[in-house]
Amino acid sequence: MKPAGKNQRRSKLTIGVLYGGRSGEHDVSLCSAASVVAALDKTKYDVVAIGIDRDGRWYVQDRPEIIADKDFGRILSLKKKGAWLVNHFEDRNRLHLYDMDSRGKKVVVDLVFPVLHGTYGEDGTMQGLLELARVPYVGVDVAGSAIGMDKDVAKRLLAQEGVPVVPWITVSRSDWLARPQKILRGALKRLEMPVFVKPLRTGSSVGIKKVKVKKDLAPAVDYAFGFDTRIMIEKGIDCREIECAVLGNEDPRASVLGEILPTHEYYSYEAKYLDPEGAKMNIPAKIPARLAAAIRKCAVLGFRALNCNSMARVDFFLDKKTGAFYLNEINTLPGFTGISMYPKLWEATGLSYSALLDRLVELALARHREKSAVITG
Ligand SMILES: Nc1ncnc2c1ncn2[C@@H]1O[C@H](COP(=O)(O)OP(=O)(O)O)[C@@H](O)[C@H]1O
Ligand SMILES: [Mg+2]
């Protein structure tokens, strides 16, 4: 088959927005994508929305529709019409999609914006596919994405760079099955109650439990193992939750800080998505300027320590009693709806939502040029 568009004059960049996906955060992605598709500047870009269903099938959306929804605001529809096959080896630097139902029809995109959260979107696997395709893409590279997704690996690297992290222990399923009593004793010796039990590679608070009394620890561990093969038990901090947006490749910048004020006991899945009044957001966070400066500096340090580029939202806990702060986690594909923290923090720092999208496209192209110059084959 002849490579498409080779001799065609293409003035606009065609951006493929990937959304949905095989992830517990599929629905969140439909919301993020609705805002991204609507806000990408159509005078600069042709936008192709590509929905991925929960089983991982890709569908090019001829007419992407925004469906209103009361809790989340806007949601992008995902119509399962015509299954599209990805061929990533035919043409350098572009992603080819073929309609398996009507032979010959194809879509070619110049740059991919994976608006995908969690598993198979934020964890380096999709980034790996896009690397194979040699197509420029928005967001963190393979390694940084995979590291950011794994709370244990991330914390070990952060600790090594001197970034403060909350004390924790990691438990594998095989260890838990072999020596549950030993693990419980060890955890209770090292960490005081309350503790948080978390799967290592989920997001949106899925699989997490706060444990206040000893007898609830083993069930919480069993519960977390329903979501991952490795879990962590972490000291609970009575904290304020502070978030910082970082943007850039070689010279990453930190935004002003925001604070999440959950109305629930902690920022649970219910508080995040089910209860419209589950949390309030304060931008900028009301904290002393010197402390804010230290947290912003730490956000950039953490971003670098985890080998990130492009963007990430860096989340902190600020201990209410001691005033100490800890880097909790780095989210490499943060929520991207018009009311999400990441774009809101940039807006408050002076970068509008659509200017932020332009910047992310520029960063993706710059990163791609840089990699193309050194990677052969
Ligand atoms: N060690 C902790 N101390 C206090 N609260 C915590 C702790 N760990 C998690 N939480 C609460 O649970 C929420 C989700 O945990 P987090 O580690 O951010 O996982 P996720 O990746 O699912 O967002 C946090 O925003 C916070 O409200
Ligand atoms: Mg979190």
- For the chain, domains (ranges, CATH) are 13-138 (3.40.50.20), 148-164+238-332 (3.30.470.20), 168-235 (3.30.1490.20)
Pairing of the two strands 95-99 and 84-87: antiparallel
Give the pLDDT score at 75.
86
* pLDDT value of residue 4: 45
Q: Is 166 in the pocket of ligand 1 (CB under 6 A)?
A: yes
Centre of ligand 1 from the C-alpha of residue 266, in Å: 7
Phi first, then psi, for residue 360 (nearest 5°) are: -65, -35
CB 266 within 8 A of CB 121: no
pLDDT at 6: 46
Q: Ligand 1: distance of its center to the CA of 322 in Å?
A: 18
Which atom of ligand 1 has the smallest separation from the CA of 236?
Answer: 3
Residue 54 φ/ψ region, left for φ over 0, alpha for ψ in the -120 to 50 degree band, beta for the rest: alpha
- The residue annotated as part of the active site, out of 331, 342, 353, 367, is 331
| β partners of residue 253 | 247
DSSP H/E element including 292? helix 289-305
Distance 205 CA to ligand 2 centre (A): 6
| Ligand 1, pocket-test mutation among 123, 192, 196, most atoms within 8 A of CB | 196
Q: CB burial class (10 A; 0-12, 13-18, 19+) of residue 192?
A: exposed
113, 140 contact by CB (below 8 A)? no
Low-confidence ranges of the chain (pLDDT < 50): 1-8
Virtual CA dihedral for 260, 264, 268, 269, nearest 10 degrees?
-100
- Phi then psi dihedrals of residue 233, to 5 deg: -115, 125
| pLDDT at residue 67 in the model | 80
Nearest CA to ligand 1 atom 26: 267
pLDDT given for residue 258 in this prediction: 98
Q: Confirm or reject: Cβ of 328 under 6 Å from ligand 1.
A: yes
